[in-house]
Amino acid sequence: MKRTPLYWMSVVSVLLGAASYGLLSPFIKKAYDKGFTFEQVTVHQSGIAMLLLWLLALVRFRRWVNPFRGEWIKLCVIGIGGLALTTVLYNQALERLNASLAIVLLFQFTWITILLDSITQRKWPGKFRMLAVLIVMAGTLLAVGILEEGLTRFDILGVILGLLSAAAYSLFIWWTGRLQGDQDPVIRSAVMMTAGFLLIVLLYGSKAVSSDSEGILIGWGLLLGILGQVIPTVLFNVGVPRIGSSLAALLGSLELPVAALTAWVVLDESISLLKLAGIVLILFGIGIAELPSGARSESLARLEE
């Protein structure tokens, strides 16, 4: 089946969104190392991201539509149950785990999303996608360093929080893949982020201000909001509804190698030959996922019509 330029644009959008999210965890760890708390980082990250998304929506005035028409209630649910919970749970996991391990736990969203998709569609994934999942999971075991370092360095609560963040992230991707209509992706993202931020500020707003270093904290919030909310949310809203949540989950595995390499550069976390081999396997698995199976080709054909 011939792939349209719009399809490939959607694939690239998801890959770029995943890469941006992969950059996030090492910089959150860096903010913690500077003395900022989970509450301060999370509230500033989400609040600044919300403001940036609404500014982008206003600048794109030719695409402006009333954000409270259409699926806005569904967008709010995605913002709270997907974006906000992922941010809260993942940022808490990063307090207890190193960046490489935290991203591997978040990465479990891959198989969770594919499982959700398979259950709702009542059919098994295509053979190449199943093979891709196995290859990516094998690469994950190598990339996290379990074979070299064992399980002794794991913080149990941190692991639970990381896995819960993966479940929330998979819900975000799965729900986003089921959105209908042609509403502007920036406006969609802004509505999602607003609903998520309201929950976060209700939970942690009272502990969010740093009286001594508020200006520096705003700078960290700007960086983290752009990497973790603005870029991924907009690009996923562009790409996921067109390519489907299962393929988006596999393409999202690019987060892991990006996070591991960034943690190596920014935080000086170790990266061995086995970890590099795992990263290569993950990238290979992404390529395998792009090989069309019969059922998948028919689905894409209907979508692109």
Digit-by-digit pLDDT tens for the chain (305 residues) are 457 778 888 888 888 888 888 888 889 999 999 989 999 999 999 999 999 999 988 887 676 666 666 677 888 999 999 889 999 999 999 998 887 778 778 877 877 887 888 888 777 777 777 887 788 778 877 876 666 665 556 688 988 999 999 999 889 888 887 877 677 888 888 889 999 999 999 999 888 887 778 889 999 999 999 998 889 888 888 888 888 777 777 787 777 778 878 888 887 877 778 878 887 887 787 677 666 654 444 444 443 33
DSSP for the chain, please give it: -PPPHHHHHHHHHHHHHHHHHHHHHHHHHHHHHTT--HHHHHHHHHHHHHHHHHHHHHH-GGG---TTSSSHHHHHHHIIIIIIHHHHHHHHHHHHS-HHHHHHHHTTHHHHHHHHHHHHHTSPPPHHHHHHHHHHHHHHHHHHTHHHHTTTT--HHHHHHHHHHHHHHHHHHHHHHT--S---HHHHHHHHHHHHHHHHHHHHGGG---TTTHHHHHHHHHHHHIIIIIHHHHHHHHHHHHH-HHHHHHHGGGHHHHHHHHHHHHS-----HHHHHHHHHHHHHHHHHTSPPHHHHHHHHHHH-
Which tokens in the block code for residue 190?
Answer: 């802004």
Give the pLDDT score at 70.
Answer: 67
Which tokens in the block code for residue 120?
Answer: 């709702």
Q: Containing domain of residue 48, as a range?
A: 5-304
Q: Is the four-CA dihedral 256, 52, 14, 296 of positive or negative sign?
A: positive
Domain count, the chain: 1
